[in-house]
């Protein structure tokens, strides 16, 4: 009979059901049952992720048919007081098994977002990321600046999509499109765009932090936290701050 330690170690690396697990399931030792329950929970979680993944793929394939190139479009950074708004457009292949677990960027840890960003770039048929500056945001307003940036992202794809799915926005393009409310939770392509936009913007703000460490951009990514507001009172705004946003506008 195998020891509890041996069984626990085997279950930790086992991805799928194997015949030897029948004996484990009926093993009455408390340590074995604890390890077996942990393995079952992991399997349930994996099954749930697979189902959610397939639901996102099925959602995208409703548009333009199975062989259509469907682009997902999303943004990051509409709300902050500083930094660009970043948009991304992504066309994914039909077979996206590597992206199981991909979700709205806000639902994932930073490490998982970065890992998925790498996978999206490796597997995407085409993708494009666009940065819209604080100056453009002030000139156009945040809504129009985001719309313009999203349009540039779509039109810069190396392959023209047959259909465009946009997270809660209508774009001035001739390609058929649909505006999807909370699209990054429903569409795999939009979720992929969400990840690329978010990770690209975070990286940009971390680089900006090196130039202006007193504002704490690496901690809050330009959002109006107490730390950021206090720094604004002390040092005033930089060229990267949005002058049309309060409280900077009143300053």
For 76, which DSSP code?
E
For position 222, what pLDDT does the model report? Answer: 98
Same domain, 95 and 185: yes
Same domain, 153 and 43: no
Report which of 120, 138, 157, 152 is spatially closest to residue 84, judged by C-alpha positions: 138
Same domain, 78 and 48: no
In a domain, 210, yes or no: yes
210: its two tokens: 């090196």
Q: What is the mean pLDDT of residues 236-245?
A: 97
Span 112-124, pLDDT tens digits:
999 999 999 999 9
Domain boundary among 32, 59, 86: 59
Same domain, 205 and 123: yes
At 103, is the pLDDT very low, low, confident or very high (cuts 50, 70, 90)? confident
In a domain, 245, yes or no: no
233: its two tokens: 């009172």
Span 65-99, pLDDT tens digits:
778 999 999 999 999 999 999 999 999 998 889 99
Rounded percentage of the chain residues whose pLDDT exceeds 70: 100
Report which of 39, 37, 34, 45 is spatially closest to residue 16, judged by C-alpha positions: 39
Count of domains forming the chain: 2
Domain range for 12 is 4-59
For position 95, what pLDDT does the model report? Answer: 81
Q: How far apart are CA 245 and CA 240, in angstroms?
A: 12
Per the model's pLDDT, the better-predicted residue between 22 and 137 turns out to be 137
* CATH number, domain containing residue 198: 3.30.420.10
For position 106, what pLDDT does the model report? Answer: 83
For position 153, what pLDDT does the model report? Answer: 98
For position 67, what pLDDT does the model report? Answer: 86
Same domain, 187 and 106: yes
Spatial strand order of the sheet with 70-76 comes to 126-132, 85-91, 70-76, 163-167, 177-180
Span 147-194, pLDDT tens digits:
999 999 999 999 999 999 999 999 999 999 999 999 999 999 999 999
| pLDDT beyond 90 at 37 | yes
Helix then strand then coil, in percent of the chain rounded to 5, is 55, 15, 35
Q: Which of 2-6, 89-93, 197-201 has the lowest mean pLDDT?
A: 2-6
Same domain, 81 and 54: no
| pLDDT beyond 80 at 44 | yes
Q: How far apart are CA 72 and CA 88, in angstroms?
A: 8
In a domain, 20, yes or no: yes
Q: Are 130 and 86 in contact (CB under 8 A)?
A: yes
Same domain, 146 and 120: yes
At 15, is the pLDDT very low, low, confident or very high (cuts 50, 70, 90)? confident
Q: Are 171 and 185 in contact (CB under 8 A)?
A: no
Q: How far apart are CA 235 and CA 218, in angstroms?
A: 17
Same domain, 23 and 134: no
For position 66, what pLDDT does the model report? Answer: 77
For position 250, what pLDDT does the model report? Answer: 93
For position 105, what pLDDT does the model report? Answer: 84
Q: Are 167 and 150 in contact (CB under 8 A)?
A: no
The burial of 3, by beta-carbon neighbours within 10 Å (0-12 exposed, 13-18 middle, 19 or more buried), is given as exposed
| pLDDT beyond 80 at 64 | no
Q: Which residues of 47-66 are buried (b: 16+ CB within 10 A; e: fewer)?
A: eeeeebbeebbebbeebbee
Average pLDDT, the chain: 95
For position 176, what pLDDT does the model report? Answer: 97
């Amino acid at each position: 009979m195998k020891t509890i330690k041996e069984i626990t170690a085997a279950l930790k690396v086992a991805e799928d059901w194997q015949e030897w697990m029948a004996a484990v399931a009926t093993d009455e030792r408390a340590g074995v049952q604890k390890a077996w329950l942990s393995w079952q929970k992991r399997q349930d979680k994996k099954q749930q992720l697979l189902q959610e993944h397939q639901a996102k793929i099925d959602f995208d394939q409703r548009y333009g048919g199975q062989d259509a190139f469907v682009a997902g479009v999303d943004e990051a950074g509409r709300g902050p007081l500083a930094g660009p708004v970043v948009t991304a457009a992504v066309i994914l292949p039909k077979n996206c098994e590597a992206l199981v677990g991909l979700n709205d960027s806000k639902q994932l840890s930073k490490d998982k977002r970065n890992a998925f960003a790498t996978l999206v770039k490796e597997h995407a048929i085409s993708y494009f990321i666009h940065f819209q500056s604080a100056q453009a945001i002030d000139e156009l307003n945040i809504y129009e600046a985001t719309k313009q940036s999203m349009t540039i992202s779509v039109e810069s794809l190396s392959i023209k999509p047959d259909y465009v799915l946009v997270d809660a926005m209508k774009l001035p393009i001739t390609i058929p499109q649909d505006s999807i409310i909370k699209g990054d939770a429903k569409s795999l392509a939009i979720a992929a765009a969400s990840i690329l936009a978010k990770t690209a913007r975070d990286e940009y703000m971390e680089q900006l932090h090196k130039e202006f460490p007193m504002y704490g951009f690496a901690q809050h990514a330009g959002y109006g936290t107490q730390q950021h507001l206090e720094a604004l009172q002390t040092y005033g705004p930089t060229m990267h701050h949005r002058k049309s946003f309060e409280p900077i506008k009143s300053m």
